[in-house]
Amino acid sequence: MRASVIVRSKDEADRLRLTLRSLSRQTVPPEVVVVNDGSTDATEAVIDEAAPLLNLKRIRNSVAKGRSAAANAGAQAASSDILIFLDGDTLAGPELVGRHLELHRNASNIIARGETHQLRCTRFFSNPETGAPRRGEEARIAAMSESELARMRVTIQDVETNFSSIHKKSQPGIYPGAGPRRLFDLEMDALRNHPHSTVLWAAAAGANQSVARNAFLEVGGFHNDITINEHRELALRLINSGLRMALAEGAYSYHLTHRSGWRDPLHDASWEKFFYAAHPIPAVPLLSIFWASLSETARYPVEARINSLPELEAIAKKYEHVHGADEVRRAHLLATAGTCEVQ
């Protein structure tokens, strides 16, 4: 059994360099398929630099086609049994590929999600290796001492000879912030302790997730119209086809956090229209209440909050007769808080 790592990347050259170097240091070497999705920076030069170190294929889109289409193109070009999806700003821990493959060898018909960490120390950098600041962060970086700057940087030398130092700098989480750390903990709990839950697709990951290539292709890959939460929608389709979610223990990835370019699914809800149209089940619109409930500034009353994936599953069952995303939320809010505006 072999693995292909699909790396989708757009204008992330300085982070992609570190990502590709981390893939060259895997205990089990993978095929690597890099999809350059319309980058205008030095991405092609970075891929050229990494090519001698990897079993590498490349796809170059002259115009960006989006995360889902980029990942689908990479999957089509891959030649291995197992697909592992990664982003161009995310490091692979040295055992990531090996851990995914081990799980797939021991359990068939699974979607494997690894353990996602954040490197928040890189959030002010345009280049995590040199410590060059992002636009607008020049004064902040200039005020740092040399030792502080050195502690925050992530270098190729770290990746190649001292990866444990990278792990020590990281924090478990989905996106930067306290709420996403809580979400990570709840997703890990659900995957470890509630393996038969019907909403484990909600614990899918955008990067550090794997599936058999034939199963991925049979369900049609990622939904091209969904570019936030596309991984959860794919996981739901795969589960409906007979697969189950499983945790790849010890398969660590490390997001080189940045302060621009990421989209908050609570603020950009474009994903829900397509997701709910494909899967008109109550758990989909209730996701926004679940995620908002984890924030320190949760806007929903205590009685209406959803605090775990098993709780999401139980609440969704109550509204199986309700049709329409807004109607599901309204029914839940009215049932729990008497009179609340749907938000």
**What pLDDT band is residue 340 in, cutting at 50, 70 and 90?**
very low
**What pLDDT band is residue 181 in, cutting at 50, 70 and 90?**
confident
**What pLDDT band is residue 297 in, cutting at 50, 70 and 90?**
low
227 in Cβ contact with 89 (< 8 Å):
no
**281 secondary structure, DSSP code:** -
Give the chain's mean pLDDT: 91
Question: Could you tell me which of 95, 96, 107, 97 has the C-alpha nearest to residue 4?
Answer: 97
Residues in Cβ contact with 186 at an 8 Å cutoff, skipping those fewer than 6 apart: 294, 307, 308, 309
Q: Is it the case that residue 1 has pLDDT exceeding 50?
A: yes
Residue percentage of the chain with pLDDT more than 90: 77
Can you name the residues that pair with 31 across neighbouring β-strands? 4, 55
Mean pLDDT of 128-140: 92
**What pLDDT band is residue 225 in, cutting at 50, 70 and 90?**
confident
155 in Cβ contact with 163 (< 8 Å):
no
pLDDT at 301: 85
Task: Determine if the pTM surpasses 0.85.
Answer: yes
**What pLDDT band is residue 190 in, cutting at 50, 70 and 90?**
very high
Q: Is it the case that residue 161 has pLDDT exceeding 60?
A: yes
Which domains are delineated in the chain? 3-121+170-256 (3.90.550.10), 280-337 (no CATH)
Residue 221 has which token pair?
Answer: 């890959």
CA distance readout (Å), 21 to 25, 51, 93, 158 = 7, 10, 11, 10
* pLDDT-wise least confident of 9-13, 27-31, 97-101, 267-271: 267-271
For the stretch 33-81, pLDDT in tens is: 999 999 999 999 999 999 999 999 999 999 989 999 999 999 999 999 9
pLDDT at 262: 52
Q: Is it the case that residue 342 has pLDDT exceeding 50?
A: no
